Structure 1
Amino acid sequence: MDSVGVGLIGTGFMGKCHAIAYTAVATVFGLPRPRLELLCDVDEALAAEKAAAFGFARATADWRALVSDPAVDVVSITTPNALHPAVAIEAARNGKHVYCEKPLALTLTEAEAMAAAVREAGVKSLVGYNYTKNPAVAHARRLIEEGAIGRLVHFRGVFDEDYLADPELPHSWRMERAKAGSGTLGDLASHLINMAQFLCGPIEAVMAEVTTMHAERPLAEGPAGATGKVENDDTVSALLRFRDGFSGSLTSSRIAWGRKSRFAWELHGSAGMIAFDQERMNELQLYQARGPKAEQGFKTVLSGPAHPPYGLFVPAPGHSLGFNDMKTVEVAHLLRGLAGEETLYPDFEDALATERVMHAVLRSAEEARWVALD
């Protein structure tokens, strides 16, 4: 496996996560150290500052220069959602592999164009649904495949945070459809949809409702008392039908006081269930309906070296992994995928299936009816 040249666009929360992962992946996984070639942000001074801090060799304020740079092999996209399509498509046309944060795009047409561009260029892609890279989640999937809880009969998921619970928090690009697209749906519930697909298979129909509870928010700049309209959803609720013949549900809110990252799901089977909560991300709850009734109960499975690749980070159970570690697992998967050693998941085609469900949710909410997936 050759060293890979990295170009990173965006230096916010997720941009820093990517930089940390690229820096850590060689130490943790023993892979060739990626070459941090070029970093881009809209402000040239900020780009230079972050390049020095993140360990990139060069900086630019021109993303087109980055996606055409001959030293860059893979482009990491951590920009606001509206910029994903243009950057990803241009990168693919320049022969670059593309590693993009979710959601893919604001519209289904744009998402389809991104998948087509990657396919036509013959480059590889990966989308940042990194919660599936948790060793505890990988173990849950193994348990399902081994029949530990029998036949799947129901999925239930919730993803709540309180980062916009305060109605006095100022308006931002995240509330504008032209920049963010959907709100809670794209930011949080998309992870639930992807996780449901990862664990349960394809979703074939949805019935949904979305709400905007804080319709106006104060402007960060401007006259006192001025407000801006919140154009997208604060909460999402949906019923699901899976292709394999069972049902599910999901709810998500960005205005849920007290919830920091309650990405929680339950998988009910004919012989037990599995439960997980991201706020306790190193634990898996397993219930198996066997043995004496008086002795049946939930078992807490604590992540440790028996759940790869946990042991590459720390040799002792109970010492716990964190969010950035999941990103390092994801980057290791990316590098192995680029080397042809693993099949990348979710690539743009896989993420497009998630996008189709998201847009079916919006259509269902608008039309107040069940919407079937093609």
Structure 2
Amino acid sequence: MSRLGIGLIGTGYMGKCHALAWTSVHAVFGDVPSIDLVHLSEVTDDLARQRAGEFGFARSGADWRALVADPEVDIVSITTPNQFHAEMAIAALEAGKHVWCEKPMATSLADAERMRDAARISGRVAVLGYNYIQNPMVRQIEAILAAGSIGTVNHFRVEMDEDFMADPTTPFGWKSDAKSGYGALDDFGVHPVSLIHTLLGRIARVLGHQAMPYATRPVPGAPPRAVETHDIASVLCELDTGASGVIALSRSAWGRKGRIALQIFGDRGAIVFDQERFNELQLYAADGDPATRGFRTILAAPVHAPYDRFIPAPGHGLGFNDLKIIECHELLLRLAGRPSRTIGFDAGLSIERTIWAMHESAVRGTWTSVPE
């Protein structure tokens, strides 16, 4: 296929990221079809028209079903609030479209299973928006682990923190509504789980805890509303390999802006990585003279593909939107039947089952096995 028509539903934070990725992917990589920005949908015709003009889409409107039915649309990007993912993705797949849906997959395990089933029946490509696994530094971590440079992994820790919910005066929004899911677990936790599944393997059982730092949120012109989701979660984990781990999540962590701090410990060394400094990683090798041992910093460079597609010089650094362009490219590789680094709806369901088990464990207060 020499050209692909794109439909975009939702134009907020991630919607703009998708639009930028679709605009840039051919120029950056060159080995994919040309992209036509065909149809954009938003909650009102006026907003849709405005965003279409800004992003470069040919048509726009408030009816997302019209976008899904558009014969010129080949791939649908879904970047709406979480509770709409299942209905939109299933409708797009039933219409014969390929789907690129943001995480989390859905707000319930049953909906995620329906999405997986729809993807299987349709035979279309359906992938989820896990851009952090695309980072050249994360790929390098995978290579370090595969080479056995830190030996057998026995423990990991992941902290994911931001502070957009840290202020108790922040008004009640859709992320505090139970319709959006569990809270930090599925809004944030899916990212650490995607990294763990990619780098270390499946999580087999969990012991979870969830916390609600603020019981209510203000509502302009109305009484405060009770918060229905948990902004903090902590989970003990055990992998299929027997390795242990800890995941700590907070949307209310003052001073943290985009932190995913990953530590991996083996019997011969350790790896440290932080998403707030995602163009570098630290590697510790327990060999050589003990007097000169220490973590050494590895900076992102053209040798860490696909960094070279963006910048010819080491140490200059990629950005968040560049990871989305890489993810877009991987989607197109999968569409062409080529090897790709993507999380499809089958693998995405495995992540959702892990998050479900974490929530169930927190509710029950007991270790819970993750369904396979």
| TM-score when normalising by structure 2 | 0.98
2: CA distance, partners of 1:260 / 1:111: 29
What stretches of structure 1 move > 2 A for 4+ residues in a row? none
Percent identical pairs in the alignment equals 46
1:6–1:36 Cα contact (<8 Å) kept: yes
Q: How does 1:29-40 map to 2 (within 5 A)?
A: 29-30=29-30, 31-40=32-41
Residue aligning to 1:6:
6
1:148 aligns with 2:145: no
Q: Distance in 2 between matches of 1:2 and 1:110?
A: 34
Corresponding residue for residue 176 of structure 1: 177
Alignment of 1:223-242 (within 5 A): 223=222, 226-242=223-239
> Counterpart of 1:84 in structure 2: which amino acid?
H
Q: CA deviation at 1:344?
A: 5.3
Q: 1 CA distance for matches of 2:254 and 2:72?
A: 46
> Structure 1, residues 209-264: CA drift from partner, whole Å, max 9, x if none?
001111100003x23xx111110111000000000111101001000000001111
Q: Residue 300 of structure 1: SS of its match in structure 2?
A: strand
Q: Does 1:68 align with 2:65?
A: no
Contact 1:125 1:344 (C-alpha < 8 Å) held by counterparts: no
- Cα distance in 1 for partners of 2:288, 2:116 equals 49
Where do residues 16-95 of structure 1 align in structure 2 (5 Å cutoff)? 16-30=16-30, 31-95=32-96
Q: Which amino acid aligns with 2:129?
A: G
Indicate how the Cα distance of structure 1 residues 167 and 193 shifts in structure 2: closer, same or farther if over 3 A, else same: same
For the residues of structure 1 that align with 2:125 and 2:25, how far apart are their CA atoms?
Answer: 19
Deviation, 1:190, is 1.4
User: What are the residue-to-residue correspondences of 1:91-240 with 2, within 5 Å?
Assistant: 91-178=92-179, 180-220=180-220, 222-223=221-222, 226-240=223-237
Q: What is the CA–CA distance in structure 1 between the aligned matches of 2:125 and 2:211, rounded to whole Å?
A: 37
**Aligned Cα RMSD in Å?**
0.9
Distance in 2 of aligned mates of 1:99 and 1:193? 19
Q: Which residue of 1 aligns with 2:326?
A: 329
Verify the 8 A CA contact 2:208 2:362 in the aligned structure 1: yes
Secondary structure of 2:34's match?
coil
Q: Please state how far the C-alpha of 1:342 moved relative to its aligned partner.
A: 2.3
- Secondary structure of 2:249's partner? strand
Letter in 1 for 2:331: L
Paired residues for 1:311-350 under 5 Å: 311-343=308-340, 345-350=342-347
- CA offset at residue 33 of structure 1? 2.5
Identify the match of residue 291 of structure 1 among 288, 302, 306.
288
TM-score, with length taken from structure 1: 0.97
Q: Could you tell me which runs of 5 or more consecutive residues in structure 1 were left unpaired when the two chains were aligned.
A: none
CA distance in structure 2 between the partners assigned to 1:202 and 1:131 by the alignment: 17
Residue in structure 2 matched with residue 368 of structure 1 by the alignment: 365
Determine if contact 1:39/1:51 at 8 Å carries over to the other structure. Answer: yes
Matches within 5 A, 1:354-365: 354-365=351-362
Distance of 2:91 and 2:129 partners within structure 1: 19
Please, which of 242, 247, 261 is the counterpart of residue 244 of structure 2? 247
Contiguous gaps of at least 5 residues in structure 2: none
How far residue 343 of structure 1 moved from its aligned partner, in angstroms, is 3.8
Distance (whole Å) between structure 1 residues aligned to residue 303 and residue 194 of structure 2 = 25
Partners of 2:326 and 2:147 in 1: CA distance: 23
The answer to whether the aligner puts 1:280 opposite 2:277 as a matched pair is: yes
The question of whether the paired residues in 2 share the 8 Å contact of 1:161 and 1:260 is answered with: yes
Task: After superposing the two structures, state which structure 1 stretch, 335-344 or 14-23, moved more.
Answer: 335-344
Aligned residues: 370
